C-alpha cells in the first residue's frame, strides 16, 4: 500500500484556537478519506470522512478540506478544547461497489490543547 | 448497540508460541478487517474479510492468518511469534465503507 504522509507529528494549541493537521497521498485510486481520533489505550474512533467529489465537509467543530489536484486533505478543529487532546490519524482507501479496501494510515499527530 | 468487541484485552506470550485473537463485529456488519498498531505508529492493515472470504491482505508474512465465521466474527492467528509482533491488534467492522474499530488486544511477546 502506498504511503499517506501526515504532518505535524505533534501540535500544541491554546484552548479556543484552531488545530490544523495535514495529510498528502500518492495513490490516485484512493477515494475515501477518513480521520480517526485515538485516546491512550483505546481503539481509533471515526471522526469524519470525505469523498473526493466535494472539497469540504463539516461536522460540528470538525472540518475536512480536500484538494484533489494537490492530493492533499486536512482536518481543522475549531474552538479546540482540552478534551480534544488525543492522537489523530488520517487514512485513505479505495471504494468499489463491493466495499472499501483496507485503510492506509498516516503516522499520526499528537495534539495537546492547553487550557 | 454494542460496538466491536475483542478478546482477550491483554496477552503475554513468549517467542515461538502461537496466538489467537478474536473479534465480534457490530451487528449487521459483514466485513471485518485486522490491523497491527505498533506503539507510536499508525495502524497497519493485515487482512480484510467479507462474507467469510478474504478480500484483501496487507504486507505481512505467512505467519499471520485469519478467518471469518458464519456469524461474521473473526479470528486472527499468528504463528512462531517474534519480539517484533508485540503491538496493539485492532479489529474493525464495516457495513460498506466506514470502518469502526474495537478497543484492541495488546500483545506482548517476551
* Digit-coded pLDDT (tens) for B44-56: 999 999 999 999 9
Tell me which H or E stretch contains A20.
Answer: strand A19-25
Identify whether the C-beta of residue A46 lies closer than 8 Å to the C-beta of residue A36: yes
Sign of CA dihedral A81, A44, A31, A21: positive
Minimal CA separation from B45 to chain A, in Å: 6
CB–CB of B31 and A99 under 8 A?
yes
Q: Which of A49, A102, A104 sits opposite B98 (nearest CB)?
A: A49
For residue A30, list its beta bridge partners. none
B5-109 domain in CATH 2.60.40.10? yes
For residues B8 and B84, give the distance between their C-alpha atoms in angstroms, rounded to a whole number.
19
Who among B4, B45, B59 is closest to A103 (CB)?
B45
Asked if residue B75 has pLDDT above 70, the reply is: yes
Judge whether residue A1 has pLDDT over 90. Answer: no
* Chain A residues in contact with B100 (beta carbon < 8 A): 46
Q: Is the predicted pLDDT of residue B39 greater than 70, yes or no? A: yes
Per residue in A34-79, pLDDT (tens digit) is 999 999 999 999 999 999 999 999 999 999 999 999 999 999 999 9
Our CA-based measurement puts residue B10 at a distance from the nearest CA of chain A, in whole angstroms, of 11
Residue A105's nearest CA partner among A46, A26, A34, A9 is: A34
Q: Which residue segments constitute the domains of chain A, with CATH numbers given?
A: 4-114 (2.60.40.10)
Residues of B in contact with A32 (CB under 8 A): 97
**Is the pLDDT reported for residue B2 higher than 60?**
yes
Mean pLDDT, chain B, integer: 96
Nearest to B56 among A45, A101, A108 (CB): A101
Q: State mean pLDDT over B78-90.
A: 98
Q: Enumerate residues 6+ apart whose C-beta is below 8 A from B110.
A: B12, B13, B14, B15, B83
pLDDT higher than 70, residue A2: no
Q: Do B35 and A103 touch (CB under 8 A)?
A: yes
For residues A11-36, give the mean pLDDT.
96
Annotated domain spans of chain B: 5-109
The reported pLDDT for the residue numbered A98 is 67
Interface of B with A in 64-83 (CB under 8 A): none
Amino acid at each position: 500500500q502506498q504511503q499517506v504522509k501526515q504532518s505535524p507529528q505533534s501540535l500544541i494549541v491554546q484552548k479556543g484556537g484552531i488545530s490544523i493537521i495535514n495529510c498528502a497521498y500518492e495513490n490516485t485510486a484512493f477515494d475515501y478519506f477518513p480521520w480517526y481520533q485515538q485516546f491512550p489505550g483505546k481503539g481509533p474512533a471515526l471522526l469524519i470522512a470525505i469523498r473526493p467529489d466535494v472539497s469540504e465537509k463539516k461536522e460540528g467543530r470538525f472540518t475536512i478540506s480536500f484538494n484533489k489536484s494537490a492530493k492533499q486533505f486536512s482536518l481543522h478543529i475549531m474552538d479546540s478544547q482540552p478534551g480534544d487532546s488525543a492522537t489523530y490519524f488520517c487514512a485513505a482507501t479505495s471504494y468499489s461497489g463491493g466495499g472499501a479496501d483496507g485503510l492506509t494510515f498516516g503516522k499520526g499527530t499528537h495534539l495537546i490543547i492547553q487550557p | 448497540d454494542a460496538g466491536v468487541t475483542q478478546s482477550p484485552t491483554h496477552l503475554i506470550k513468549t517467542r515461538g508460541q502461537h496466538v489467537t485473537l478474536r473479534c465480534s463485529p457490530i451487528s449487521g456488519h459483514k466485513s471485518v478487517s485486522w490491523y497491527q498498531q505498533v506503539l507510536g505508529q499508525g495502524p497497519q492493515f493485515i487482512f480484510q474479510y467479507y462474507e467469510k472470504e478474504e478480500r484483501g491482505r496487507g504486507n505481512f508474512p505467512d505467519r499471520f492468518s485469519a478467518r471469518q465465521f458464519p456469524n461474521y466474527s473473526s479470528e486472527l492467528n499468528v504463528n512462531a511469534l517474534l519480539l517484533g509482533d508485540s503491538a496493539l491488534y485492532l479489529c474493525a467492522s464495516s457495513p460498506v465503507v466506514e470502518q469502526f474499530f474495537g478497543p484492541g488486544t495488546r500483545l506482548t511477546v517476551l
